[in-house]
A and B are shown apart, each in its own frame.
Chain A
């Protein structure tokens, strides 16, 4: 127990020295494991893990979902999503920000990454909001917050990794993300409304679209709908229409999604040869850096398990007589704190092996805990000082200060906390859909 706490401190120390998180976790895991099992045992564990992780069939879903997201971004689908949301909401006060939130949610349904959602939508939504004299604080904040939906609304790379890490059904995790995702959309719309009620100049109304325009805009989103139904429908076997049996494993769903997105982008002429290579290299490199973190995290998690940290934690909690809800609240507090400094995937990989055994031993549902972890991670994406989505926005937009964005994000952050409280207090919001399947 003491050894693993020292290990945890060592990881944090190395990470703050700017060592790649993958290697920091790997080194500490390796040294710690050696302390208990000797050098030979430890190096054998690491060698085997490197070979097995790189060839893990289940993990092949990761590069494929990343690839799908990148092809979707290239294919210009974000523009159409925005147009249709604008056609229905643009005439309201704050309507363009609301349209941004809805378009982000739509984009999240075909893209599994929050940063990619924020980066893609900012290119489409930001110029429009500038045109209608939206205040930068509201426009950037609505994109940064809307973008966080990317990892909750299926497909989601983070949920895939959680599923693989804890052997929880990826299909159930995906479907469990739907209601909390929609709740997020609803609450973000309330946050926009609240912002324009306090400061009407922040989001002036746009022009009202005619029903003819609305119908025309709706025609543009067929590609998004097809992709979503292909991936999610295939995963749940609802496309099983005789004589064609379209039921996919998660890897197959990701492969079909990536191929579908590729074909859509190709048919629109938005992909050249070098553009395709660009996307493929980007996806492969992103996957490689994620796998490095995965391998490091597994080495570290083998060490903390061997050192008995999860059991130690469970015993400590039991002997302290803490109620299950107190423990969950404490874990959430730890996530919010860690989220202020850690990149989301690394935070998940570092903490889930430690907390998961404790949480399940207290009788909580693994699917519910997965969604809670992802919602907390979403919150961390817009929490100062690190809030990665805010920095993505800053990177794309350029001439807005991070302080302005963080200020604009505050109402969104508050409704996020309300959503988290709701999901913790009413677990059936998360579990209703997966349990009814």
Chain B
């Protein structure tokens, strides 16, 4: 399955039945990603119009774009991972029996989860280092470590999501998508 026609998970949940608080906690990052993308679009549009017509661009637009990108990508990642929307090659599927496929998927999910802890930890360390040095962004003077924390936090969440997926496959195989 390619990335470009993924099913927009989460929207089906925008309406309908009574939801638990856990549901909202789970979909909140996805909504954050969607909002950040809308802001990015609106800001780029406003920047171009202001620059072209009034010769008065939004000077912090480049920096804002960088922040928004990190928010879009990393806050969407846990749900993408939980729903199994990562790009995979499923060509060999017919070669695996259902039982073998289940074992394979459990192992893959757990491996992905465990392996992601290291980069998440390293990003956290780099953020802490930026905090010690007092690094700020060039234009807005925004502390660099905050965005590092954000990325590390969602990388950790994604790692946990993969592990949970592996465990869920073990106990509730029908509940896991992809």
Is the CB of B143 closer than 8 A to any CB of chain A?
A: no
Binds B, one of A94-102, A252-260, A419-427: A252-260
Nearest-CB distance from A346 to chain B (Å)? 6
B 86-117 contacts with A by CB, 8 A: 86-93, 104-105, 108, 111-112, 115-116
Contact A64 B148 (CB under 8 A): no
Contact A59 B69 (CB under 8 A): yes
Taking a contact as CB atoms closer than 8 A, the residue among B10, B85, B91, B104 that contacts A289 in the complex is: B85
Map CB proximity to A onto B60-104 as digits: 1 under 8 Å, 0 otherwise.
001001111110111011011000011111111100000000001
Q: Identify the closest chain B residue to A111 (Cβ).
A: B4
Contact A256 B45 (CB under 8 A): yes
A 57-102 contacts with B by CB, 8 A: 57, 59-60, 63-64, 66-67, 69
Taking a contact as CB atoms closer than 8 A, the residue among A47, A55, A277 that contacts B31 in the complex is: A277
In the complex, A103→B44 CA distance in Å? 29
Contact A259 B41 (CB under 8 A): yes
Is the CB of A16 closer than 8 A to any CB of chain B?
A: yes
Contact A20-B151, Cβ < 8 Å, known A60-B40, A285-B9: no
Is the CB of A311 closer than 8 A to any CB of chain B?
A: no
Is the CB of B24 closer than 8 A to any CB of chain A?
A: no
Taking a contact as CB atoms closer than 8 A, the residue among B6, B15, B41, B53 that contacts A285 in the complex is: B6
Q: Identify the closest chain B residue to A289 (Cβ).
A: B3
A interface residues, how many (CB within 8 angstroms): 76
Nearest-CB distance from A92 to chain B (Å)? 31
Residues of B within 8 A of A60 (CB): 40, 65-66, 68-69
Contact A289-B148, Cβ < 8 Å, known A115-B2, A277-B34: no
Is the CB of B33 closer than 8 A to any CB of chain A?
A: yes
Binds B, one of A166-174, A202-210, A240-248, A313-321: A240-248
Contact A255-B44, Cβ < 8 Å, known A47-B126, A345-B87, A392-B5: yes
Contact A293 B72 (CB under 8 A): no
Residues of B within 8 A of A285 (CB): 6, 8-9, 30, 33, 76, 79-80, 85
A 262-301 contacts with B by CB, 8 A: 262, 274, 276-293
Contact A286 B40 (CB under 8 A): no
Interface residues on B, range: 35 or more
In the complex, A51→B85 CA distance in Å? 22
Map CB proximity to A onto B15-37 as digits: 1 under 8 Å, 0 otherwise.
10000000000000011011111
Is the CB of B174 closer than 8 A to any CB of chain A?
A: no
Contact B52 A246 (CB under 8 A): yes
In the complex, A254→B112 CA distance in Å? 33
Residues of B within 8 A of A157 (CB): 4
Taking a contact as CB atoms closer than 8 A, the residue among A57, A119, A288 that contacts B76 in the complex is: A288
Nearest-CB distance from B166 to chain A (Å)? 12
Map CB proximity to B onto A132-153 as digits: 1 under 8 Å, 0 otherwise.
0000000000000000000000
Is the CB of B176 closer than 8 A to any CB of chain A?
A: no
Binds B, one of A21-29, A211-219, A326-334, A360-368: A21-29
Taking a contact as CB atoms closer than 8 A, the residue among A119, A274, A288 that contacts B73 in the complex is: A288
Nearest-CB distance from A260 to chain B (Å)? 8
Nearest-CB distance from B130 to chain A (Å)? 9
Nearest-CB distance from B60 to chain A (Å)? 12
Q: Identify the closest chain A residue to B72 (Cβ).
A: A284
A 344-392 contacts with B by CB, 8 A: 344-346, 385-386, 388, 392
Is the CB of A198 closer than 8 A to any CB of chain B?
A: no
Contact A283 B70 (CB under 8 A): no
Contact A289-B88, Cβ < 8 Å, known A43-B118, A51-B148, A252-B47: no
Is the CB of B48 closer than 8 A to any CB of chain A?
A: yes
Contact B77 A288 (CB under 8 A): yes
Contact A115 B5 (CB under 8 A): yes
Is the CB of B163 closer than 8 A to any CB of chain A?
A: no
Is the CB of A129 closer than 8 A to any CB of chain B?
A: no
In the complex, A392→B7 CA distance in Å? 13
Residues of A within 8 A of B92 (CB): 16-18
Residues of A within 8 A of B151 (CB): 50-51, 54
Residues of B within 8 A of A48 (CB): 126
A 1-35 contacts with B by CB, 8 A: 15-23, 26-27
In the complex, A115→B67 CA distance in Å? 29
In the complex, A45→B61 CA distance in Å? 28
Contact A27-B115, Cβ < 8 Å, known A119-B5, A244-B52: yes
Residues of B within 8 A of A288 (CB): 33, 72-74, 76-77, 80
Residues of A within 8 A of B76 (CB): 281, 284-285, 287-288
Q: Identify the closest chain B residue to A259 (Cβ).
A: B45
Contact B105 A20 (CB under 8 A): no
Residues of B within 8 A of A278 (CB): 8, 11, 14
Is the CB of B139 closer than 8 A to any CB of chain A?
A: no
Contact A63 B147 (CB under 8 A): no
Which of the listed residues A19, A26, A284 has the most CB atoms from chain B within 10 Å of its own CB?
A284
Q: Please list 9 pairs of residues, one from A and one from B, whose beta carbons are closer than 8 Å in the complex, sorted by A's number.
A: A22-B86, A46-B118, A50-B151, A67-B41, A115-B2, A281-B31, A284-B36, A289-B85, A342-B89
Q: Contacts A15-B89, A44-B122, A274-B15 given; 4 further ones with Cβ under 8 A?
A: A21-B89, A50-B155, A284-B36, A293-B3
Give me the 9 closest cross-chain CB pairs, A-B, nearest first.
A255-B44, A47-B122, A20-B86, A282-B8, A280-B34, A288-B76, A259-B45, A284-B33, A55-B66
Residues of B within 8 A of A (CB): 1-11, 14-15, 30-31, 33-38, 40-45, 47-48, 51-53, 62, 65-70, 72-74, 76-77, 79-80, 85-93, 104-105, 108, 111-112, 115-116, 118-119, 122-123, 125-126, 147-148, 151, 155
